[in-house]
Amino acid sequence: MGTGRQHDAIAIQNADVQVGVARRARLVADLDPGGIQRGREGQSLVKEGLLDVGGSGFPIPHDAEGPLGDRRVVHDPGDDPRGIGKDQESQNKPLHLAGKYIQIGTVNTNRTDVWIRGGGVAGLTAAWHCRKAGLQVVVTDTAAIGSGASGAWWALMNPATGVQPAPVAGIRQAMVGFELMRNELGLDGVGWIKAGIWRPALDKALANGFAKAAAHPDWPAGWLRMDRPMHGLAGSGVLRVAAGYAIDMRLWLTAVAARLGAMGVDIRENVPQHHTVPARHRVDCIGMELLTDPAWAHLRLHPIKGQLREVLVNGIRGQFPALSARGYAIQTDTDRWVIGSTYEHDFTDAKPDAAYDAYLIDRFKAMFPQPVSVTVVGRWAGVRIGSHNRQPILARHPEDETRWAVTGMGSKGLVYSQILGRELADRLTADP
């Protein structure tokens, strides 16, 4: 940790990160002192309403078998004091893609409240929350939107990970936040977001863990269901995560950027390194670049490389929702899947490495009872950022109160960026 002024950094889940003395008492009251924890304890955060997203209720689950239909949560921004009612019309404009170092959308050049550096899932989700809170936002990226770890071809927004999944506090708000974002940005029902995740229990121990999880009262009704072994899938049963999603991240981020542009967020891609934006606050969402930024050395971050493969598959019949067992697999066409991922803590470069093909393919094949043949047609790698206690971090710089960072989301960027983005917007609006 740094010296001098104490850090006004919450790490939403990080008891070790110090916070300013005055704020600390409040934070401890608001946030569980241990941060977001698993299970009942963590739910206190939800009860406090700290991370509530505006009384819209919780998503009523869809399932992989059918769309959510008219049961989907519909958010009326007109009722939301933080809403963006006047911008609604512009959201109906057709999508257009962000170009090379261009500005999209209408820009109020008089005043910038927040300069967000980095157009990955952290930066764009934070931009959405801040814009909804009425802030003027500029997002810059030294490359293209989604060119960091968030560009993972397909990624899961899975509220039920692990061998005996338990809800992390804030998970409901994260799932609702994502639904609202889709809804308000007019990206509902698009084909590159798939509802529902199936988790085949590949052995009895996993099946027991899943069954216990599905029966646990901490889970919102309908989010999880333990099912019998299913035809076409290996294992002793399947945990159906009705509330989960699989998302084509490149399309998601590009579309979000375009919609944010229509909401008046100024998005600049491919800016030079030295490009600066005068603003009241600066938020660093720069992924792995944080590792080498001395200003954030006290956060004790570390890189975790992950790899994906696009594969052509023979021997699997039918259509599956996203699968998650040892790794995940998303069927993107009849015979085409994206499979992943690795967790490499020791690596020399961030490039894909064919030596991991067999590892990923074996884990994919284990999900099916029949022989399956697999050909790799694409490789992708990215570097996620982990924190020392595996909890995501929203940090305010100890020496410069106008400077923030969002990081440490590991492999759960979609979930944590909703929680941190909302929290950031709340703090910035409370701190004019």
Ligand X SMILES: Cc1cc2nc3c(=O)[nH]c(=O)nc-3n(C[C@H](O)[C@H](O)[C@H](O)COP(=O)(O)OP(=O)(O)OC[C@H]3O[C@@H](n4cnc5c(N)ncnc54)[C@H](O)[C@@H]3O)c2cc1C
227 binds ligand X (CB under 6 A): no
Pick the binder of ligand X from 155, 174, 323, 420 (CB under 6 A): 155
- Span 239-278, contacts to ligand X by CB under 6 A: 273
Q: Please, which residue, 235 or 386, has the CB nearer to ligand X?
A: 386
Distance CA 403, CA 279 (A): 10
Which strand (E) or helix (H) includes residue 5?
A: none
Distance CA 25, CA 2 (A): 20
121 binds ligand X (CB under 6 A): yes
User: What would the two tokens of residue 299 be?
Assistant: 């956060």
Q: Please, which residue, 83 or 341, has the CB nearer to ligand X?
A: 341
What letter would DSSP give residue 63?
B
What letter would DSSP give residue 361?
H
Which strand (E) or helix (H) includes residue 122?
A: helix 121-132
- Span 364-383, contacts to ligand X by CB under 6 A: 382
Which of these ranges, 90-98, 176-184, 331-339, 407-415, lies near ligand X under the rule CB under 6 A? 407-415
Pick the binder of ligand X from 51, 130, 149, 233 (CB under 6 A): 149
117 binds ligand X (CB under 6 A): yes
- What's at 60, amino acid-wise? I
Pick the binder of ligand X from 409, 420, 425, 428 (CB under 6 A): 409
123 binds ligand X (CB under 6 A): yes
Helix (H, G, I), strand (E, B) or coil at 386: strand
Which of these ranges, 3-11, 139-147, 208-216, 223-231, lies near ligand X under the rule CB under 6 A? 139-147
The position carrying tokens 């002192």 is 33
Q: Please, which residue, 110 or 292, has the CB nearer to ligand X?
A: 292
Examine residue 236 and say whether the peptide bond preceding it is cis (omega within 30 degrees of 0).
no
339 binds ligand X (CB under 6 A): no
Residue from 93, 99, 156, 104 nearest 308 by CA: 156
148 binds ligand X (CB under 6 A): yes
Task: Give φ, ψ of 52 to 5 degrees.
Answer: -65, 150
Pick the binder of ligand X from 170, 177, 413, 421 (CB under 6 A): 413
130 binds ligand X (CB under 6 A): no
Helix (H, G, I), strand (E, B) or coil at 33: coil
* Shortest CB 142 distance to ligand X, Å: 4
340 binds ligand X (CB under 6 A): yes
* Shortest CB 50 distance to ligand X, Å: 22
142 binds ligand X (CB under 6 A): yes
196 binds ligand X (CB under 6 A): no
What is the torsional sign of CA 410, 413, 415, 419?
Answer: positive
* Shortest CB 26 distance to ligand X, Å: 26
* Shortest CB 139 distance to ligand X, Å: 9
Residue 226 burial (CB count, 10 A): 18
Distance CA 395, CA 404 (A): 5
Q: Please, which residue, 41 or 400, has the CB nearer to ligand X?
A: 400
167 binds ligand X (CB under 6 A): no
Across 3-37, b (16+ Cβ under 10 Å) vs e yields eeebbbbbbbbbeebbbbeebeeebeeebbeebbb
Residues binding ligand X (CB under 6 A): 117-123, 140-143, 147-150, 152, 155-157, 273, 285-289, 306-308, 340-341, 382, 384, 407, 409-414
